[in-house]
Chains A and B, each alone.
Chain A
């Protein structure tokens, strides 16, 4: 898989996973080598089956949000339970105080395409 900058232009996005590879309520981390971003990106699947993407590293300490617990519109950090909104990256609840970055995701034919740097 080649690295893309993902900023604008690329209408196809980066194919990062098959949607069936991500159980509902869970996530997977996509390495920055693949996304071309500074941070790894977590692809998180809601219980309704839709997929979302956030920078993978919790803004509090270094936990991977892909390891978090997805519920409703949020993912709960696996270390100290701050929650981040999947659509906006907004943090709700200490100890994290800084929002994270949300990226656009599209699912086509059962495949997850990520658009790093594009807002959902």
Chain B
């Protein structure tokens, strides 16, 4: 058991970052008081909200992050409620219903909200950012956002066969919803000004191929911006730039990115700059407050908006509270799914420029295949489609900084594990 001088911890937010924090604290011997405050009915996982949960293949219970009895077994007090104010000096969190929690350390794990796009709109009754778990539906007018299970429920209700759906934004979530909606028999128009979208995350070649899958699966893709969205009695009327007349849809999903939920931190006087600013130990500008996951940004780093980054933040925060070394860092990794393809990305997918070179293992567009980015003889990134072993090998190559030859990577008959072994 680790002897920590911290007697009590309150974690605000029951997403993967908050749950990882409490999981890691207990796993590593923290014996003090532990409270997890969550605005949701219970802590659940978000990635299925655009995939199996949205399609109806999974229900809310089956995407719980931990079984309900697990929290009791670990002596974690799960409180349902919405934190309204934070006082770092006093070590208190005040809930919207007036209840107050106090602790030696407070961990902010409040996640984020879908970004509101810069579209001229007439949206009756739709609030920009209703509080999570407030029960206020965000989708009363046929215009949807997607971050919570409530949001997914609202969207799922309209994804009936033949329904006309406009998806604004072809990033990871927009693309996943397009794929799910096509599976459900909806007519989908996917609009994004970038061509191809997500090139920065997966490299232009793979991005182009992934984007082309939408048309192949019967979704219409338009490279443009959406200028206006208006809820009318006949449906949602949208004006796409460059088109002569507006089109009418049954529903619109706005999926143009997310903004970190930092309002309470800012109000409390913590440093906020595109996320609650934290140091390498997840500590904010006040020593008793830590921040993890999508709401936080490590100074000198870009803010990550992926599941595993939130897990790592939670592990680092737990280590900080316990006063032990943080687990070793690993190259950033995320996955996304569309049209029954599993796409994984590790490291950085630099475009070939100067010292960077891209190498395809297999045939691009014929899964399984992997595209590696090399800088000299070092792998710096990889994107794999249905090729989990290659991406796991790539991650280790990046983490261990091993030298490899492009020709070896490109040859599907080369055993990547052997390459790793021989480089040890």
Contacts and interface: CB of A to CB of B under 8 A. Distances in A.
Interface in B269-314: 307-308, 311
A11 to B, nearest CB: 34
Interface string B18-49: 01100100000000000000000000010000
Interface stretch (B64-72, B119-127, B150-158, B246-254): B64-72
Interface of B: 16, 19-20, 23, 45, 52, 65-67, 70, 307-308, 311, 333, 335, 342, 388-389, 392-393, 415, 417
Contacts of B45: 95
A80 B70 contact: no
B67 A25 contact: no
Interface of A: 23-26, 61, 67-69, 76, 78-81, 93-95, 97
A24 B16 CA distance: 33
Nearest to A77: B388
A43 B290 CA distance: 43
A58 to B, nearest CB: 12
Main secondary structure of the interface of A (DSSP, over half): loop
B388 A79 contact: yes
Contacts of B16: 94-95
Nearest to B23: A94
Given A79-B335, A80-B335, A67 B388 contact: yes
A79 B334 CA distance: 10
B342 A94 contact: no
Given A69-B388, A94-B311, 10 more contacts: A23-B417, A26-B417, A68-B388, A69-B389, A79-B388, A94-B16, A94-B65, A95-B45, A95-B307, A97-B67
A76 B392 contact: yes
Contact of A94 (B20, B335, B388, B389): B20
